[in-house]
């Protein structure tokens, strides 16, 4: 599910396109919530920038689908993802952030003030923009993925692998991400099945060799996931081997965790006409900063981070974005 809408391609003369008269001017607009957006809001609000935040379709971001968070500093006994995001939201609001429900559907970053359309109904004119729209994990599209969300299905081994210590798990994918996830889990789990649709890995040779040398990783070549089963939580997976061939057969494996490692899609579509993106769609930022190629526009969190994708790194980049925005506004004050 994409969290932020794609840019409309209506013809200029289309009678479907109506002039928007509801326009609001703000100093700093934060698009998207989650650890990055809320942290940016806290810092921007404390700097008296009166930030306005639109949360998007998933207030709190991907972490709201995580049942237990034990690797974020400051929570020694752990906390649920939704609870932590609610804490961050309250902290942002405490310092004066205007947190609103709404979806950014269009963007015009060609000049200041930048114009962001919300729900195709309202235009926010902002002196500076902080983009924290995140990235959406790619799923196989199985009904069971939603059924067992938070009950054995995960798209982040680094986030959730700890809960499967000593257990059997499966990782879906054949690229570097899948190989990395499998290797990470192999140090925690009893056994790791790597479910690969083809008869070869797409991962780099170095990663392939590491996987092949890891004794408790078993590669299931030419297997595709058909479904999951279990009483409330994942207890196993139903696979199809050599689907569509005369040798096709159904295979069942017993697992406690099912990890998706087939990639993420950054929620950057509406900015693609203005910002530099990598070949996947992650927003490029100047190394060591949150600055994009458009002065006055900053990016933080998973929408610009293809490597770490952790709550704590997202929060750190949100801090960077707010400080960069504060300094940039001070330098360009009229």
Residue 48 Cα distances to 92, 226, 320, angstroms:
12, 53, 16
Catalytic, 159? Answer yes
Provide CB contacts within 8 A for 19, sequence distance 6+: none
Instruction: Find residue 296's DSSP bridge partners.
Output: none
Contact assessment for residue 305 and residue 314, using Cβ atoms and an 8 Å cutoff: yes
Catalytic, 160? Answer yes
Q: Which of 160, 256, 305, 324 is catalytic?
A: 160
Instruction: Find residue 260's DSSP bridge partners.
Output: 172
169 phi and psi angles, rounded to 5 deg: -135, 170
Residues in the chain: 334
d(CA 122, CA 116): 8
Q: Which of 108, 119, 156, 168 is catalytic?
A: 156
Tell me which residue of 134, 230, 138, 212 sits closest to 177, measured CA to CA: 138
Query: Which pair of structure tokens corresponds to residue 274?
Result: 């203005």
Q: Which of 144, 159, 256, 324 is catalytic?
A: 159
Contact assessment for residue 99 and residue 106, using Cβ atoms and an 8 Å cutoff: no
d(CA 251, CA 166): 23
d(CA 84, CA 71): 12
Query: Which pair of structure tokens corresponds to residue 47?
Result: 């700097």
- Output the CA torsion sign for 257, 258, 261, 266: negative
d(CA 195, CA 54): 38
Cis peptide before 113 (omega within 30 of 0): yes
* Exposure of 197 in the CB half-sphere (CA atoms within 13 A): 14
Tell me which residue of 121, 114, 157 sits closest to 137, measured CA to CA: 157
Q: What Rg value do the Cα atoms of the chain yield, rounded?
A: 22
**Residues belonging to the active site:** 156, 159-160
């Amino acid at each position: 599910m994409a969290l932020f809408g794609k840019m409309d391609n209506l013809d200029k003369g289309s009678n479907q396109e109506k002039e928007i008269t509801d326009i609001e001017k703000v100093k700093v607009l934060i698009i998207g919530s989650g650890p990055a957006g809320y942290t940016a809001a806290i810092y921007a609000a404390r700097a008296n920038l009166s930030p306005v935040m639109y949360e998007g379709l998933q207030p709190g971001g991907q972490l709201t689908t995580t049942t237990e968070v034990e690797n974020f500093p400051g929570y020694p006994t752990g906390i649920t993802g939704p609870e932590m995001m609610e804490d961050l939201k309250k902290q942002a609001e405490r310092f004066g952030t205007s947190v609103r429900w709404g979806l950014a559907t269009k963007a015009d970053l060609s000049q200041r003030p930048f114009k962001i359309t919300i729900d195709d109904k309202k235009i926010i004119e902002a002196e500076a923009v902080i983009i924290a729209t995140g990235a959406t994990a790619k799923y196989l599209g199985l009904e069971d993925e939603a059924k067992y969300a938070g009950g054995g299905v995960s798209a982040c081994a680094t986030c959730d692998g700890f809960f499967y210590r000593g257990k059997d798990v499966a990782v879906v994918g054949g690229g570097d991400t899948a190989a990395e996830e499998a290797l990470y889990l192999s140090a925690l789990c009893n056994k790791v099945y790597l479910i690969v649709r083809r008869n070869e890995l797409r991962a780099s040779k170095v990663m392939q060799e590491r996987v092949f040398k890891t004794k408790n990783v078993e590669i299931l070549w030419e297997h595709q996931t058909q479904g999951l089963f279990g009483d409330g939580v994942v207890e196993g997976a139903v696979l199809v081997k050599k689907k569509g061939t005369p040798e096709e057969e159904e295979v069942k494996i017993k697992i406690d965790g099912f990890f998706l490692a087939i990639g993420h899609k950054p929620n950057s579509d509406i900015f693609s006409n203005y910002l530099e993106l990598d070949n996947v769609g992650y927003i490029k930022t100047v190394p060591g900063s949150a600055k994009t190629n458009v002065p006055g526009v900053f990016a933080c969190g998973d929408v610009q981070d293809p490597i770490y994708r952790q709550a704590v790194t997202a929060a750190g980049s949100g801090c960077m974005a707010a400080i960069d925005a504060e300094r940039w506004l001070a330098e360009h004050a009229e």
